[in-house]
Amino acid sequence: MDGGERIPNNVGLGQNQSLKRALEHWQPHFCEWWRQLGPTDFFAGEVYLRTAVGADAKSWARYGLVRLPEYRWGIFLAPGEADRRIGFGDDFGLPVWQQVPGEHRAALRRLIVTQADTEPASVEQQRGLGHSCPSLYDLRNLFQINVEEARHLWAMVYLLHAHFGRDGREEAEALLERHSGDRDRPRILATFNEPIEDWLSLFMFTYFTDRDGKYQLKSLAESAFDPLSRTARFMLTEEGHHLFVGDSGLSRVVRRSLEVMRDNASDDPQRVRDRGAVDLPTFQRYINFWFSSSLDLFGAEISSNAASYFASGLKGRPDEARYQDHRALGEALLLDKPDGKGGAGKEEAPLRNAMNEVARRAYVKECGVGVERWNRLIEKAGHEFRLSLPSPRFHRAIGFWAGVFADPEGKILSAGAFSARRAEWLPSAEDRAFVKSLMRAVVEPGKMAGWVAPPVHGVDHLPLDYEYVRL
Ligand code: BYC
Ligand code: FE
Ligand code: FE
């Protein structure tokens, strides 16, 4: 580990002068981007943050007060495995690659650029939220996520610079030129162009969209291109906190709503709103929006891209080790598909072509875990209302169901019938305005906004009233 370097790393940057120069050339452009599109309005304060200074158990999470402009982003790969072998596809069992094979260069670059693009996008999406934080504890978590997503950008830019020559350097620049929601140069994947202007959306995003990140990184962690696998494995250790923010954040919103319902002796949504909490039907509409958008991030159900990524060893299934047949030949997956006559039918696809769907189904299952937990809270509080994940047919923009209108149960509707009931199922302008009206900054240590319950624990064994951000 050369920690004294301008760019902390465990990739031997000190021994590779041309790579070091290339990254040091990109660094000021990154800093410029962070100053313009990061959480700029909070640059004067100090934040209690964890920083990775190495990749081992001791040094991946060093805590301390840091100013956001002075955060030190490092390049860290998880330790290499001796004699690692390709775990799936046509080359199953052969040694993994330390360099990019020429024939896979374009495809790998595309995967890495797509992954990379989401990281700064999320920072851009979240940049205004500091002004309406529910507590200093939450504000600190937001900044922790922002610095780590920015580090994930560094992780991908390292791969581009180290392995893709001039093309890679150009892609690294372009990553700072596309921006979330930009009309002319938007981010690549649609979810990363959606505005995140309230903390309910942030918690939904970190629950549903960061979880897509987890599943995509698990697939990339299987890659035959070993540097990509190792960097994805290290990113996954950081991802745990982002998912925790989403999961615990949404649980706290539900808990607070139930408290208000109990104190009012009423589950009337309007009365919950009048008392300054999020009513459960609104919460459900936010789930519907962010879940359906995040489902699109897995790509189409049938994808020749996915088949060739799998065949050539570039991108595997999440947790590939749990399958028997790592070549995935001769198997098929039954897919749900519109029949083109206003109904639904089935199509059987060769498994390799359906790898996006394999990952999506595993993801959907995991998304359901939190929903069940929230429903147990609601049930224990004595209410009939139940939250649910909408059908994968609902509100899709990618794959078979793009352009089909279906209700959250998956019943196919006409465009007119859908739009007549849209406000029941998706956040309306009025819902968004209401949720935004709850968002007022609370910055006194230990105090919490009225729409969200306090967390169970502080950060890093510190008390809840610790001053996590010194503004
Ligand atoms: N929006 O064969 P298909 C994260 C495009 S999140 C717009 O179905 P493929 C994070 C697709 O590019 C994880 N376009 O797609 C989370 C293709 O375009 P072209 C990010 C979309 O290639 C929170 C066409 O539609 N990582 O880390 O099988 C905070 C249809 O092609 C979308 C990755 O995504 C969409 N939603 O699969 C911070 C991993 N979906 O070629 C960070 C790398 C698809 O026709 N990427 N398209 O122009 C991939 O593995 C694949 O690119 C995808 C798509 C899974 C995304
Ligand atoms: Fe990330
Ligand atoms: Fe993340």
What per-residue confidence (pLDDT) applies to 162? 98
User: Ligand 1 pocket, 213 CB below 6 A?
Assistant: yes
Residue of the nearest CA to atom 54 in ligand 1?
Answer: 299
Q: Is the CB–ligand 1 distance for residue 299 below 6 Å?
A: yes
User: Distance (Å, rounded) from C-alpha 471 to C-alpha 462?
Assistant: 18
Each of the 471 residues of the chain gets a pLDDT tens digit; together they read: 444 578 999 999 999 999 999 999 999 999 999 999 999 999 999 999 999 999 988 888 999 999 999 999 999 999 999 999 999 999 999 999 999 999 999 999 999 999 999 999 999 999 999 999 999 999 999 999 999 999 999 999 999 999 999 999 999 999 999 999 999 999 999 999 999 999 999 999 999 999 999 999 999 999 999 999 999 999 999 999 999 999 999 999 999 999 999 999 999 999 999 999 999 999 999 999 999 999 999 999 999 999 999 999 999 999 999 999 999 999 999 999 999 899 999 999 999 999 999 999 999 999 999 999 999 999 999 999 999 999 999 999 999 999 999 999 999 999 999 999 999 999 999 999 999 999 999 999 999 999 999 999 999 999 999 999 999
For ligand 1, say whether the CB of 120 is within 6 Å of any of its atoms. Answer: no
User: Given this model, what pLDDT does residue 1 score?
Assistant: 40
Q: Is 302 in the pocket of ligand 1 (CB under 6 A)?
A: no
pLDDT score of 4: 54
The 3-class secondary structure across the chain, one letter per residue, is: CCCCCCCCECCCHHHCHHHHHHHHHHHHHHHHHHHHHCCHHHCCCEEEEEECCCCCCCCCCEEEEEEHHHCCCCECCCCCCCCCECCCCCCCCCECECCCCHHHHHHHHHHHHHHHHHHHHHHHHCCCHHHHCCCHHHHHHHHHHHHHHHHHHHHHHHHHHHHCHHHHHHHHHHCCCCCCCCCCCCCCCHHHHCCCCCHHHHHHHHHHHHHHHHHHHHHHHCCCEHHHHHHHHHHHHHHHHHHHHHHHHHHHHHHHHHHHHHHHCCCCHHHHHHCCCCCHHHHHHHHHHHHHHHHHCCCCCCCHHHHHHHHHCCCCCCCHHHCCCCCCCCCEEEEEEECCCCCEEEEEEEHHHHHHHHHHHHHHHHHHHHHHHHHHHHHHCCCCCCCCCCCCCCCCCCCCCCCCEECCCCCEECHHHHHHHHHHHCCCHHHHHHHHHHCCCCCCCCCCCCCCCCCCCCCCCCCCCCCCEEC
CA of residue 309 to ligand 3 center, whole Å: 23
Ligand 1 near 208 CB (within 6 A): no
Which listed ligand is nearest to 155 at the C-alpha?
Answer: 2
For the CA of 190, the nearest atom of ligand 1: 1
Ligand that comes closest to the CA of residue 213: 1
- Paired with 470 in beta bridges are 46
229 is written with which tokens?
């696998």
Distance 235 CA to ligand 2 centre (A): 7
CA 218 to ligand 3 centroid distance, Å? 13
CA 214 / ligand 3 centre spacing (Å): 8
Q: Tell me the CA–centroid distance for residue 296 and ligand 1, in Å.
A: 8
pLDDT recorded at residue 2: 44
Question: Ligand 1 pocket, 114 CB below 6 A?
Answer: yes
- Among 151, 297, 355, 367, say which to mutate for ligand 1: greatest number of ligand atoms within 8 Å of CB: 297
Residue 5: per-residue pLDDT: 75
Find out whether 299 and 396 touch, Cβ atoms under 8 Å: no
- Give all domains of the chain, ordered by start, each with its CATH number: 13-470 (1.10.620.20)
- Residue 3 has what pLDDT? 46
Amino acid at 435: V
Can you read off the two tokens belonging to residue 128? 């205004």
Distance 404 CA to ligand 3 centre (A): 30
Give the closest residue (by CA) to ligand 1 atom 4. Answer: 213
Tell whether ligand 1 has an atom less than 6 A from the beta carbon of residue 216: yes
Counting beta carbons within 10 angstroms of the beta carbon of residue 2, is it exposed (0 to 12), middle (13 to 18) or buried (19 or more)?
Answer: middle
CB 317 within 8 A of CB 358: yes
Residue whose CA is closest, atom 10 of ligand 1? 213
448 lines ligand 1 (CB under 6 A): no
Ligand nearest to the backbone CA of 110: 1
189 Cα–ligand 1 center, Å: 6
Q: How far is the CA of 2 from the centre of ligand 2 (A)?
A: 24
Q: In this predicted structure, what is the pLDDT of residue 172?
A: 98
